[in-house]
Amino acid sequence: MTALPRASVIVPAYNAARTIGDCLEALLAQDYPRDRFEIIAVDNRSTDGTAAVMSRHPVRVVEERRMQSSYAARNAGLAVAQGSVLLFTDADCLPDRSWARMLASALDDENAGGAAGRIEAAPPTTLVERFQIETDVLDAARAFTTPALPFAQTANAAYRRVVFERVGLFDPLLVSGGDLDFSWRVQRAGWGLAYVPAAVVRHRHRRTMRGLVKLYAKNVHGAALLAERYPTYRPYQSVRVPLCRAKEIAEDVARFAVGLPRAAVRRDRYVAVRPLFEAAVRLGGILGWLRWRVGRAQGREALGYLPDRPDDVREAV
């Protein structure tokens, strides 16, 4: 392998005071040459102590105040990044020591425009986290086996700078799925994606029922927005989404009621409440669909996320 390229790691953060410090410490401990490695932490309208925690670490801190959006925050980081390779992780992730080197090395292949690593769960501290581990939330390997095109989740991804120059930035108006949209645009422009299982980050899942509902509301809202450009996602715009989810919630609650006595005898709290976690996922789906349905279309030109000829790279999937 040739010498490692200059690399920039971009970490967006919104009200992440609890986790951003550990993330930055893990990035500062990378085994990447320090003279070719920079860390950019982007405070995205946080109202807690996120900015203060960032300032206590020897990293570059920037702000994204125009829009509360993780993709807008990543774009703000891209605007100041100096690297020829751009790496991404999230404020609730802990990258392994060799993470940056493994991802950057994968881009030695001139056919690879981007690379994705493995996302593992941090040890669970709540039953909600255990549920997400069992249901494979953020399974990066599964994202490479979809019936359509693979995609790199921005909790663990890297791209060449030239890719952004060719296909534009992340779409800041996608509440979720902007990483998929970008990966598909990259592949439609002729590059491939590499999967690097040795490049590992450990992700802290949502800890509460409320957090679980919000996560799946965001996911379904994002999927419905993706349907505006990718036919693969059109089922998420159907009225069947809330109707089916409501029916499934009733079934989940019934399973909870029927299984509660048996779980009480076995003294297994997780078995008792698991149907309620599934109901929370489906409730999030209903809320996400409703947010999409009542949302107002917004202009996409103001933040300049696409090149002059977006049709070149945004073909339907």
Measured distance CA(60)–CA(77) in Å, rounded: 9
Contact 84, 104 (CB under 8 A): no
Predicted local distance difference test score (pLDDT) of residue 307: 53
Burial readout 182-207 (b: 16 or more C-beta within 10 A, e: otherwise): bbbbbbbbebebbbbeebbbbbbbbb
Q: What is the pLDDT of residues 151-189, one digit of tens each?
A: 999 999 999 999 999 999 999 999 999 999 999 999 999
Judged against a pLDDT cut of 80, whether residue 223 lies above it is answered with yes
Mean pLDDT over all residues of the chain?
A: 90
Query: Cα–Cα–Cα angle for 284, 151, 42, nearest 5°?
Result: 70
pTM: 0.89
**How would residue 224 be classed by pLDDT, with cut points 50, 70 and 90?**
very high
- Section 110-125 average pLDDT: 92
pLDDT band at 30 (very low <50, low <70, confident <90, very high): very high
